[in-house]
Amino acid sequence: MNALEQLIFLLEGVQITLSVSVFAFLLGIATGIPMMLLRAFGGKLWELIVEGYEKVLRGVPIVILMLLFYFGIGVRVPFLRDPFVSAALALGIRSGAYQSQIFKGAMRGVGEDQMTAARALGMSKLKAFRHVVLPQMFIIASAGLGSEYALIVKDSAYAFFLGGGLLDVITRADILRAYALTEHWEYPYFAYIPTALIYIALTFPLATYLDRWGSRRKKKLGI
């Protein structure tokens, strides 16, 4: 393969890296918000349970979660025996534990008064949350969510440890390395540099955009 072919081969992994990451990010939102709500409104017991769960997830290296899902639980649960599923699920539930914190801070930022004003109109708690609190939470949380997304994209590279079944960017870089070193093992190998640049391109612009969009929006709305 010439350099261009190699680059194309790497770029073909972008789709997979992004799919894993976006899926994990959405799963993080879908688990993070309910956990935050359970913690805030579920009473003392739920608070303790959720807090413990979050501490464990935030304390364990992500690669261990992936390996556990794929090689551990996956042996008995065929659904997890797919490296895409194992990687995305591990990244997603771990992200939920972080996003729960992000949303907790955001809800505090929205403040209870907004809830009161919505309830005064006759909205149920759920409606008030959905139509008044949540939209403002996303604005306040946007910068935090941006860096959380960037973290997921980078950590998705650990899927590399799942044995090469997932042809994401990092796994493809490793395939190129293996291919190059069998033929020219004595030469220094630099394809990790474009690989790194690809990861930067996948994270930096969106995270920066969300950060700026969030600050502009906050300023405009006075929140």
Partner 1 sequence: MPDVVAEAENVWMEYKDIIALRDVSLQVGEGKIKVLFGPSGSGKSTLLRCLAMLTKPTRGKVFLRGEELTSPEADIDKARAKIGFVFQNILLFHHLRALGNVTLGLRRVLGLPKQEAREKAMKALREVRMERWVDHYPAELSGGQQQRVGIARALAMEPEIILFDEPTSSLDPELKGEVLDAMKDLAKKGRTMLIATHEMHFAREAADEMIFQDEGRIIERGTPKHFFTNPSTDRARRFLARLVREGQSNV
Chosen residue from 118, 145, 198, 207 binding partner 1 by CB under 8 A? 118
**Which among 160, 200, 147, 180 has a CA at the least distance from the CA of 16?**
160
Binding of residue 136 to partner 1 (CB under 8 A): yes
Cβ atoms of 24 and 152 within 8 Å: the answer is yes
Chosen residue from 43, 59, 188, 222 binding partner 1 by CB under 8 A? 222
Helix (H) or strand (E) holding 211: helix 192-221
CB atoms within 10 A of CB 141: 24
Chosen residue from 43, 59, 78, 122 binding partner 1 by CB under 8 A? 122
Cβ atoms of 10 and 198 within 8 Å: the answer is yes
Chosen residue from 105, 135, 163, 205 binding partner 1 by CB under 8 A? 135
- Minimum Å gap between C-beta 39 and partner 1 is 24
CB atoms within 10 A of CB 188: 5
- Minimum Å gap between C-beta 142 and partner 1 is 12
How many residues form the binding site for partner 1 (CB under 8 A)? Answer: 21
Chosen residue from 34, 42, 114, 165 binding partner 1 by CB under 8 A? 114
CA-angle at 23, arms to 103 and 100, nearest 5° = 15
Binding of residue 139 to partner 1 (CB under 8 A): yes
Binding of residue 127 to partner 1 (CB under 8 A): yes
Binding of residue 123 to partner 1 (CB under 8 A): yes
Helix (H) or strand (E) holding 32: helix 14-41
Torsion of CA 49, 50, 53, 54, to 10 degrees: -150
Q: Which two tokens stand for residue 158?
A: 């650990």
- Minimum Å gap between C-beta 212 and partner 1 is 18
Chosen residue from 113, 185, 186, 187 binding partner 1 by CB under 8 A? 113
- Minimum Å gap between C-beta 133 and partner 1 is 10
Instruction: Please identify, using beta-carbon distances, which residue of 90 and 118 lies nearer to partner 1.
Output: 118
- Rounded to an integer, what distance in angstroms lies between the CA atom of residue 184 and that of residue 132? 61
Residues in touch with partner 1 (CB under 8 A): 113-114, 116-124, 127, 131-132, 135-136, 139, 220-223
